[in-house]
Amino acid sequence: MRVLVIGAGALGGYYGARMARAGRDVTFLVREKRAEQLRRAGLQVVSPHGDFAVQPKILLANDLKETFDVVLVGVKSYSLDDAMSQFAPAVGTDTMILPILNGLKHIDALTSRFGAARVLGGLANVSAGLDADGRVVQFMANQTIVFGELDGALSERALALETLLHVPGIDVRASEAIMQDMWEKFVQLSTLAGITCLMRASIGDILAVPNGEQSIFRLFAECCAIATASGFEPRAPFIEFDRRLFTTPDSPLKASMLRDIERGSITEAEHILGDMANRARALDIDAPLLNLARAHVAAYEIGRQRAVG
């Protein structure tokens, strides 16, 4: 299968580099500035599992003339509209579009543009970012992709894609319950982003202060209630995993949203915290901590826009 990876940032760069290193037919659709950087230095990955670099095949949007078997979409949510316009020529009758964005709103956008038959559900669990030199830096050892058909079927194409993604450095699983999986990730991310942005601190630092742990789990309970009311009650193994995740002493874990704030960058707050808060309101669920976290990051965005404007 021929794979087009949209962007070469933290998500697309990490998973695309892993596939390219394993000999998969991978091309990256990038902007000119990133293309120049990749031509000069290659696509470099700094990882707890060992550093490496690949010399990637790259395309600019104006040069995209042919369709691909798989389009892996790993851009930030605020870049999705532009990205869809750019990669539209790559989408053929049998193309699979695999988004690994955070949240849920993007599924509606992709199915509206390209049709539900072409779109899979997906999520990525990797803690990574780009450094000042454009290297993909993996902060923690996790490196999972979970994906599946939106209707829950375990199709032949899903199994073929699972085989394609089964390479060193990617823990992959084709799921028969991808919407449940995505909702649980949505709950986890909303909790992590909400509490670390609100406190401007890592999980370990939040746990070290009075009422820190209680605050984490109040927000977690709000997000779980929203998922449950939406028809996706979080499962017991997920609850237990997140309880361990959010109670690890000295944990350096923080949301990428907080790292964006620390850099003075735009965030995905409305796609994550805003969407979750809007769902709570539509379901008449009280979510005071979630609303406060949303307001906190929204206020940051107003100040950021004023500063750059």
Question: Which residues are the active-site residues?
Answer: 185
Inter-helix orientation angle 256-263/178-199, to 10°:
40
Alpha carbon 90 to chain centroid, angstroms: 22
Distance of alpha carbon 86 from alpha carbon 255, whole angstroms = 28
CB atoms within 10 A of CB 240: 10
CB atoms within 10 A of CB 90: 23
User: Token pair for residue 258?
Assistant: 């907080």
From the list 223, 237, 127, 140, the residue with the least C-alpha distance to 183 is 223
54 membership: H or E segment, kind and range: strand 52-54
Backbone torsions φ then ψ of 272, nearest 5 degrees: -105, -75
From the list 286, 166, 137, the residue with the least C-alpha distance to 218 is 286
Distance of alpha carbon 294 from alpha carbon 275, whole angstroms = 10
